[in-house]
Amino acid sequence: MAQLDVQPKRKGPVWIWLIFLILALGVAFLLWKGCNRTAPLKVDQADSVANDTVVTGGAPAAATTQPDWNAIDFTIPKSSYEEITDTAIVVRGNQKYTIYSLGENVLFAPDASTIQSSAEDKLKIISASLAKRFKNSQIGIYGHTDSTGTAGHNKALGADRANAVKNWMVTNGGFDAAKLSIHSVGETKPLAPNATNKGRAQNRSVEIVAFPDSTAN
């Protein structure tokens, strides 16, 4: 009788497939966990960009703010422009505005609001400087007086003198009346003590305040 040679089947390949399956599941788990870990980072970056956009966009609003005509400091340091050669014209300036100052005794006779003909050359110099440096800017004209007389009279006199300068600038300087505003300080903001003749003379002045045009390039 012939002897049958029966051998058991090899089980090696099954274990190899099981090992591959376990490794594949492990890789898949690590990939899934890694994706969930990086998701919040993308959100944080997007939030950071959004916040930066809001901060940056807020700047132009300040540039379009109208001048605060009641917050002018008439004692800021003196400055100089090459085109201002007349020593009777005092220029003061900072990063916010420039002030051209003329004594009222130069512009007007005592207690009067009619511009003297001798003062027109000085107004022409100021007008040329304004046209050169502050074209289309907002300009305020301030009338100061000393403390002689009543406060009401000085307030009215300061307004009349500032208005006279405005009218001259519109008629002779070619300025847009809508860009010029009148402000009467009267005796309320003295530049010097009113106790002396010299101090009172300093307080009788007209200041022309120019703000840079915020829309200019």
What is the distance, to the nearest Å, from the Cα of residue 52 to the centroid of all Cα atoms in its chain? 21
For the entire predicted model, the pTM comes to 0.66
More confident residue, 40 or 86: 86
Report whether 205 contacts 191 (CB < 8 A): yes
- Tell me the pLDDT of the chain averaged across its residues: 77
Work out the average pLDDT over 24-40: 58
CATH architecture observed for domain 69-210: 2-Layer Sandwich (3.30)
Q: Give me the residue spans of the domains in the chain.
A: 13-57, 69-210
The structure tokens 């890694």 sit at: 34
Alpha helix stretches (DSSP H) within the chain: 12-57, 59-63, 104-107, 120-133, 151-173, 197-203
- pLDDT tens-digit map of 177-194: 999 999 988 887 777 788
Rounded distance, CA 155 to CA 139, Å? Answer: 20
15, 16, 18, 28 from 22: Cα distances, Å: 11, 10, 6, 10
Rounded distance, CA 71 to CA 143, Å? Answer: 15
- pLDDT tens-digit map of 91-145: 999 999 999 999 877 888 878 888 989 899 999 999 999 999 998 899 999 988 8
CA terminus-to-terminus distance, the chain: 113
- Percent of the chain whose predicted confidence (pLDDT) is above 90: 38
